[in-house]
Amino acid sequence: MTDHPHNDSGIPHAVAVPRRRWAVSLVWLIPIVAALLGAWVAVQQVMSQGPTITITFKNAEGLEAGRTKVRYKDVDIGTVKNITISKDRSQVIVTAEMSKQAEDLIVADTRFWVVRPRVTFNSVTGIGTLLSGAFIGVDVGKSEETKRNFAGLDTPPPVTSDSPGRRFTLRADDIGSLYIGAPIYYRRVQVGNVTAYTLDEDGKGVTLEIFVNEPNDRFVTSNTRFWHASGIDISLEGSGFKLNTESLISVVVGGIAFQSPPEGSAGEPAAANASFTLFGNKEDALKRVGQDVQTYLLYFGESLRGLAPGAPVDFRGIVIGEVKAVSVEYDRDSKTLRFPVEIEIYPERMRSRYRPGAPQLSAMEREPHVLFDRLVARGFRAQLKTANLLTGQLLIALDFFPNAPRTKIDWSKTPATLPTVPGAFEDLQETLSSIARKLEKVPFDTIGNNLDKSLVSLRATLESADKLVRQLDGSVLPEVKQTLEQARKTLGNAERTLASDAPVQQDLRDTLNEVGRAAQSVRELTDYLSRHPEALLRGKKEEE
């Protein structure tokens, strides 16, 4: 016990004790460390957290806040945190928190869509989401500009931005049965898809964007032709019925096919985003094989019913052109109506081809004026012919008619007019008309009167002949009958006389036998005398 100093009164005095320094208790170390760890985790969370973006969709089918993932190439790069309805209630706004690694992927042209099970005519996608649930797919763009608000796609894009290949543009009068994702065919092999389509600003056509996969995009060249392969293409032409289709899918939902013309060069590979025309069918697409087209006029005197634009221009079975237009014009000089037919000839189809070398230019390409002058001098003419008796369609046939009147082509006019001759039916009609005119000149009335008189004379003659026959039956025929009876008796006697067993026949046979033996003896005598002529003087020698 410590002794404390006391004063005189016995009360102890206070003693000052120096203050001890504050010491940290071990109890506080645990919360301090926990706080530091929490701060470090928070900092790491903040540093690893990517941007927050919003995506608008028409509906939130299959989406769930806190569970739905955002995936790129099947890798999770974000999570949906909130789903709200827009103020105008026309769409939903999905808020997603992206990871740090996705920061470079969120650019201006990046696309988002909801991946869920989809069944189309040509594909089945999103089957895996039946178990895992829907998620938001991402197609990363190539822009360098960042963006945080996006409009989601209603359907998955048919082609992602990183797919190898090239895009092209097609222009058509209408879209037909095409749709986004419709197949693109090359020689009936699917090589791409339709990626987008829009109406032209003037409303007179549509523009489609297509994507052709690599390496098949090399087949799209400067001379490539595209056409609708939608459904079944049935046509009735001069050669009969034609049925064209690419595949069963194209029959049901349509598609596009392309190919270079079989005649002529394919051309150089087309550049990306090159523009082409989309034709209605394969025949129209491959009809023109070259850029060189020669236009001529034809005038026919007969009816042009059945001749329409697009009808073939035929040279002895080879189609070298087509009818461009059929119209009517008034000729002031003759004050008559004429019907000009404008045709286009493709001189490239007249080229001669050699097996070892390249095609050689035809004379129609080099000197068309000189060639046509020579041909026309030899009777080269255009004629209307029936292409199909069932439909009455006509075609233009070019051929040689040596008996055609001589004429020349006036090359000062543009386009020049080629000479024509009447068609076969026109010739037949003209011949029948000529016969009818000649028949009109025949005096059928006079001939009829004379024929009536002749018939009266003939009737009188027939009556006289009838009387004569009756007279013959009454007088001449009985005597003829007696004569025939007497002749029959005579023939019977002759037959009995000539019978094989008749006495006359037996005596005749015996006589003939005697004659035969006498002839044999004469032959023997003649033979002996020929060997022994001295026997006539000396007689026959006695045999030794």
As a whole number, mean pLDDT of residues 241-261 equals 66
479 CB burial (10 A radius; 0-12, 13-18, 19+): exposed
- Nearest one of 385, 377, 414, 469 to 294, comparing CA atoms: 414
Distance set, CA 292 to CA 31, 182, 320, 351, 357 (Å): 90, 34, 12, 13, 22
pLDDT at residue 428 above 70? Answer: no
Q: What is the DSSP string of 87-103?
A: TTSSSEEEEEEEEGGGT
pTM score, two decimals?
Answer: 0.53
| Cβ proximity of 225 and 261 under 8 Å | yes
Concatenate the DSSP letters of all residues of 463-525 into one string. HHHHHHHHHIIIIIHHHHHHHHHHHHHHHHHHHHHTSTTSHHHHHHHHHHHHHHHHHHHHHHH
**Distance (Å, whole) CA 380 – CA 361:** 21
The answer to whether residues 263 and 289 touch, using CB atoms and an 8 Å cutoff, is yes
Look at residues 124, 60, 121 and name the one whose alpha carbon lies nearest to residue 92.
60
Average of per-residue pLDDT values in the chain = 78
Coil/strand/helix, residue 146: strand
pLDDT: which is higher, 248 or 103? 103
State the Cα–Cα distance between residues 532 and 541, nearest whole angstrom.
10
Q: Which two tokens stand for residue 433?
A: 């008309």
CA–CA distance, 232 with 524 (Å, rounded to integer)? 107
Helix (H) or strand (E) holding 537: helix 535-538
Select the more confidently predicted residue: 498 or 303: 303
- pLDDT attached to residue 212: 95
Please enumerate, as own/partner, the contacts of 125-134 that have beta carbons within 8 Å and a separation of 24 or more: 125/156, 129/62, 133/62, 133/64, 133/67, 133/68, 134/61, 134/62, 134/63, 134/68
Any bridge partners for residue 343, and if so which?
296, 323
Distance CA 352, CA 366 (A): 13
Cα–Cα distance for residue pair 367/374, rounded to 1 Å: 11
What is the share, in percent, of the chain residues with pLDDT greater than 90? 25
Comparing CA positions, the residue from 161, 158, 164 lying closest to residue 181 is 158
Could you tell me the two tokens for 383? Answer: 């004629």
- In this prediction, residue 126 carries a pLDDT of 60
3-state secondary structure at position 208:
strand
Q: Count the residues in the chain.
A: 544
Q: Is 30 helix (H, G, I), strand (E, B) or coil?
A: helix
Which residue matches tokens 């992602």?
Answer: 160
Distances (CA, A) of 437 to 90, 442, 447, 474: 83, 9, 18, 56
Tens of pLDDT, residue by residue over 367-424, are: 888 888 999 999 999 999 887 767 778 889 999 998 888 999 999 888 999 999 887 6
Determine the distance from the C-alpha atom of residue 230 to the mean position of all C-alpha atoms in its chain, rounded to a whole number.
11
Calpha distance 273→177 (Å, rounded) = 23
Mean pLDDT for the stretch of residues 67-89:
92
Q: Residue range 427-439: average pLDDT?
A: 66
pLDDT value at residue 300: 87
pLDDT at res. 320: 86
Only one residue has tokens 């969709």, namely 57
pLDDT confidence tier of residue 97, bands split at 50, 70 and 90: very high
CA distance 269 to 252: 31
Tell whether the model's pLDDT for residue 356 goes beyond 50.
no
CA-based max dimension of the chain: 245
3-class SS of residue 436: helix
- The 10s digit of each residue's pLDDT in 260-296 is 887 666 778 899 899 999 988 887 787 755 557 889 9
Q: What is the pLDDT of residue 302?
A: 81
The rounded distance, in Å, linking the Cα atoms of 257 and 32 is 73
DSSP run (H or E) holding 247: none
Contact between 86 and 147 (Cβ < 8 Å):
no
The Cα–Cα gap between 226 and 280 comes to 9
CB 4 within 8 A of CB 13: yes
What residue spans define the domains of the chain?
A: 48-151, 165-285, 294-434, 503-533
pLDDT at 179: 84
Pairwise CA distance, residues 8 & 535, whole Å: 240
- 200: amino acid identity, one letter: D
